[in-house]
Structure 1
Amino acid sequence: MWEERIRIEPPYDFDRVLDRLSMDPLHHVRLEEREVSIPLRNQNNDPFVVTVKGMGTKTAPEFLLSGKSDKDFAIKETMRIFQWDFSLVDVQTHFRSTNIAEIFEAHDGTPIVLEFSLYGCLMKCIIHQQLNLKFAHTLTERFVHTFGEKIDGVWFYPAPEKVAQLDYSDLRELQFSGRKAEYVIDTSKLIAEGKINLEELQNMEDAAILKELVKIRGVGPWTVQNLLLFGLGRPNLFPFADIGIQNALKKHFQLERKPTFEEMEILSKEWSPYLSYASLYLWRSIE
């Protein structure tokens, strides 16, 4: 068993991180202990668990990491997932003079936290398409509980190779629609066959990733934008079609109706190059 203490630059509100992570029933979060256990796979694709415990405060953030194996890899991945090497000072400073400054003040120190795996993120995005959040979580939970694996109390998404071998009827039995079952399995087949290399996306521009992935049946711009934001941590994304963001803008600017895309473009013009943080903080404002 290994342990490692890590201190990072403030502000960083780990309690808000845990609160948001706890919204997903698949996440192994213990709010009172200020801990989350995360499922990781090493470079040989072997699964293992790392526990992250908050030891400090928003203004003096410190964490205790612990695990049973792959220490160096685990620390590197945890740093990436929780965005510990990204300074929120610049973000807070940028938004202090914008039209959503009040939201950023209320949620000061809230980082973008990535999904624990790119494949899991893509599957989650596909499953969540056009569903209310509660049923989307239920469907994703059924998918992982049925075909994934549980290690040390932590659930891992199934490997794409396993999902690629399923029949559409296997997912239909979990209340997947016929089309969504096809999207999940067919996309997994493309990944398992090497026709889509998720790791290569790390080195591609946002526009190139969008152009490539929307070729996949069942993967549209909303899905790709969420993958870019929560899978790859790209900082300057604003999903105009997201209903939650539209509702947050309607509430914040006291509009009589949800804004049009043109109105959203005008409102968001001054938020670049941190549009992703504007997206997150707008979601947080209504969650």
Structure 2
Amino acid sequence: MAKTNHGAKHHLRQDPVLAPLVDSIYLEPLDLTNDIYLRLLRAIVYQQLSGKAANTIYQRFISLFPEAYPHPDQLLLFQEDELRAAGLSRQKAHYIQNVARHFSEQELHRQDWSKVADEHIMEQLTAIKGVGNWTAQIILMFSLGRKDIFPKGDLAIQQSMQHLYQLSGTGKQLEKEMEKIAQAWRPYRTVACRYLWQWKDTAL
């Protein structure tokens, strides 16, 4: 991992705009896991909520299960009102059960994710109603440690690149401008985005 980080830093420093970020920002090690099922459930619970509120609801949710683990077969037995009593919205209650059903039917809990290509994982995860491109990309980046993911639709990434690279486009035009810049970051676009997220947290 240290060698990879060194290689990523060396490569990304070649971008004169990104270089100061690489030199001044420390990236925490990622908490990687092969339990993509649980990470997806957590991501859905956390969507559109502040960290504190989301964590409270998530803890209530997992406390409904033996050993605080929502196995798919157990989760599918719950009624909507039981899940909503833990603080989940009607929509999120449906979404997490969609995840449980999909993982159970496709036997994805048996899959060795390390052997599956990024594009195929995106297809597998976005086939679940309630899991969009952004969520799937975040799973690839922060759970599986894939190094060349570029979530161009992420608002914080867009705002950071607009500010740092003086981009004036909007919508699809902005995304095209971003993709052109990010080509130079390959094969470490994930790492570049982590620097942009960290920078935005402190600078904007």
Given the two structures, how large is their TM-score scaled by the length of structure 2? 0.81
Give the SS at the match of 1:165: coil
Are the aligned partners of 1:250 and 1:258 in contact in 2 as well (CA < 8 Å)?
A: no
- Cα gap change, 1:118/1:85 in structure 2, threshold over 3 Å: closer, same or farther? farther
- Cα gap change, 1:106/1:135 in structure 2, threshold over 3 Å: closer, same or farther? same
> 1:207 corresponds to which letter in structure 2?
E
Match of 1:114 in 2: 32
Match of 1:96 in 2: 13
> Hey, what's the Cα distance between the residues in 2 that align with 1:241 and 1:136?
22
Match of 1:282 in 2: 196
The structure that is helix-richer by fraction is: 2
1:128 to 46, 56, 80: 46
- Cα gap change, 1:139/1:263 in structure 2, threshold over 3 Å: closer, same or farther? farther
Are the aligned partners of 2:134 and 2:153 in contact in 1 as well (CA < 8 Å)?
A: yes
> Hey, what's the Cα distance between the residues in 2 that align with 1:239 and 1:249?
12
Match of 1:169 in 2: 81
- Cα gap change, 1:171/1:233 in structure 2, threshold over 3 Å: closer, same or farther? same
- Cα gap change, 1:224/1:105 in structure 2, threshold over 3 Å: closer, same or farther? same
The structure that is strand-richer by fraction is: 1
> 1:94 corresponds to which letter in structure 2?
H
More RCO (CA 8 Å, sep 6+)? 2
> Hey, what's the Cα distance between the residues in 2 that align with 1:137 and 1:248?
27
Match status 1:245 vs 2:157 = yes
How far did residue 144 of structure 1 move?
A: 2.8
> Hey, what's the Cα distance between the residues in 1 that align with 2:169 and 2:45?
28
> Hey, what's the Cα distance between the residues in 2 that align with 1:248 and 1:142?
35
How far did residue 110 of structure 1 move?
A: 4.3
Match of 1:8 in 2: none
How far did residue 106 of structure 1 move?
A: 1.1
> Hey, what's the Cα distance between the residues in 2 that align with 1:284 and 1:114?
19
Match status 1:105 vs 2:23 = yes
Percent identical across equivalent pairs?
30
Match of 1:204 in 2: 116
Q: Give 5+ residue unaligned stretches, structure 1.
A: 1-83, 150-155
Given the two structures, how large is their TM-score scaled by the length of structure 1? 0.60
Are the aligned partners of 1:139 and 1:175 in contact in 2 as well (CA < 8 Å)?
A: yes
CA RMSD of aligned residues (A): 2.8
Match of 1:186 in 2: 98
Give the SS at the match of 1:219: coil
Q: Deviations over 1:38-66 (max 9, x none)?
A: xxxxxxxxxxxxxxxxxxxxxxxxxxxxx
Matched pairs, number: 198
Q: Deviations over 1:111-137 (max 9, x none)?
A: 444257322211122223344555444
- Cα gap change, 1:113/1:104 in structure 2, threshold over 3 Å: closer, same or farther? farther
- Cα gap change, 1:128/1:106 in structure 2, threshold over 3 Å: closer, same or farther? same
Q: Deviations over 1:66-90 (max 9, x none)?
A: xxxxxxxxxxxxxxxxxx4653110
Point out the more displaced range, 225-234 or 258-267.
258-267
> Hey, what's the Cα distance between the residues in 2 that align with 1:195 and 1:227?
18
How far did residue 197 of structure 1 move?
A: 3.7
> 2:47 corresponds to which letter in structure 1?
Q
Give the SS at the match of 1:119: helix
Are the aligned partners of 1:88 and 1:109 in contact in 2 as well (CA < 8 Å)?
A: no
